[in-house]
Structure 1
Amino acid sequence: MIDKSQLRSDMRARRKRLAGLDPQAAERAASHVSDLPPGDPVAVYRAIGSELDADALTLALIDQGRSLCLPVVIQPDAAMIFRRWAPGEPLELDQAGVPAPLSLAEAVIPQLILTPLLAFDAHGGRLGQGGGYYDRTFAALPDAIRIGFAYTGQQAEDLPVEGHDIRLHGVLTEVGYTAARKVF
């Protein structure tokens, strides 16, 4: 059995190295926005640390005419909610300490969710930070299309997938969009 804690540590180091080696990766990934599946509104995220920055992708989605929302942690052990958001609108820290729209912003249900990650595999496996926020949310919104946003170098051979882990439909990287191969 693979030690997920060690794997997370290794993949954090890899992602940090990739971020330093390729500071233009996010802009190149955003140039492939037209390859993404349809869906509106689209959930994006505010990058933390070495996560692939979603700012250029956010602007490209707006240029496509899509509306945006951001995830909000209301309770630590519950699914996240989403609030409508546009660049330049004020943010406040949610219960997880992540920038999120103010409570007066409209709550929406995204059709497409772009998620940061530490690692992904060809079958839609996703290794997150370990808090379970996205897996709980994916389980609560089974009809939403789940897309990882990452550096190509974050791909792993086969990630350990447990019962509570929800697979991605695909991943957008600096080289383009790739749909996950079905394993069912």
Structure 2
Amino acid sequence: MKAQLRKRCLAAREAAPITARAAAAVRLYARLMHLKGRTIAGYMPIGSEVDPTRVMRALSLDNRICVPVVTSKGAPLRFREWTPGCEMAPGAFNVPEPVEGGWRVPDVVIVPMCGFDASGARLGYGGGFYDRTLAGLSDALIVGLAVEAQRLPQIPRGPHDVLLPYIVTDRGVVGAD
């Protein structure tokens, strides 16, 4: 069932106008621009994911930025420091990751997704990387990033699925502050 939902959400995200993805990124910046002295985990976008890299650049003026690195199957993600213009190389799943940089534990985690619902349930890509990671970051502020086209009425949840406190979209914010 989740595989069918993923296909549906990815098709909807792909069909969403680029202006919707840009609007979601602008809303994300508006939510996080006040942060200073924090360690913020962004991500390097793949496919039609909302691109947070401009937000990461802007936030890097007052914060440390890091991005996820897959170290092995079944393990939580680790986060390596990222700076604008740092040397990147393809990592797991061909996602770019910094070649050098210290390992960081984020205070804020920006999370990509295939789909979401109003309860904060997130439909990921099926590897469980973010669920394993977020379970170990209970003190971090978790922020989902998506376009409204990715919203589903309900996502089936398993025992290890982590609810997101809020999700920023092109049309607003889903969830509590």
Q: Is TM > 0.5 for Structure 1 vs Structure 2?
A: yes
In structure 1, the residue matched to 2:39 is 41
TM superposition shift of 1:26? 4.4
Q: Give me the whole-angstrom Cα distance separating, in 1, the residues matched to 2:163 and 2:122.
A: 6
Query: Which deviates more from structure 2 when the two are superposed, residues 25-34 or residues 74-83?
Result: 25-34
Classify 1:18/1:67 alpha carbon distance in 2 versus 1 (closer, same or farther; 3 Å): same
Structure 2: unaligned runs, 5 residues or longer: none
In structure 1, the residue matched to 2:14 is 16
Q: Is the 8 A contact 2:66 2:79 kept in 1?
A: yes
1:93 corresponds, among 85, 90, 95, to: 90
Q: Percent identity?
A: 34
Deviation string, structure 1 residues 125-162 (Cα, Å, up to 9, x no partner): 00011111111111222222211111122222221111
Deviation string, structure 1 residues 91-140 (Cα, Å, up to 9, x no partner): 122233211112x3100100110011111112110001111111111122
TM superposition shift of 1:5? 0.7
Q: Give me the whole-angstrom Cα distance separating, in 1, the residues matched to 2:67 and 2:85.
A: 13
Q: Give me the whole-angstrom Cα distance separating, in 1, the residues matched to 2:167 and 2:21.
A: 19
Give TM-score scaled by structure 2 length. 0.88
In structure 2, the residue matched to 1:167 is 163
The alignment partner of 2:79 has SS state of strand
User: What is the Cα-based RMSD across aligned positions, in Å?
Assistant: 2.3
Classify 1:21/1:56 alpha carbon distance in 2 versus 1 (closer, same or farther; 3 Å): closer
Structure 1: unaligned runs, 5 residues or longer: none
The alignment partner of 2:50 has SS state of coil
Q: Give me the whole-angstrom Cα distance separating, in 1, the residues matched to 2:25 and 2:71.
A: 31
Query: Which deviates more from structure 2 when the two are superposed, residues 12-21 or residues 126-135?
Result: 12-21
TM superposition shift of 1:39? 7.7
Q: Give me the whole-angstrom Cα distance separating, in 2, the residues matched to 1:171 and 1:37.
A: 17
Classify 1:23/1:147 alpha carbon distance in 2 versus 1 (closer, same or farther; 3 Å): closer
How many residue pairs end up in the alignment? Answer: 177
TM superposition shift of 1:60? 3.2
TM superposition shift of 1:35? 7.2
The alignment partner of 2:93 has SS state of coil
Query: Is it true that 1:79 corresponds to 2:76 in the alignment?
Result: yes
Q: Is the 8 A contact 1:26 1:56 kept in 2?
A: no
> Which runs of structure 2 are paired with 1:74-153 in the superposition (5 Å)?
74-102=71-99, 104-153=100-149
Give TM-score scaled by structure 1 length. 0.85
Q: Is the 8 A contact 2:35 2:63 kept in 1?
A: no
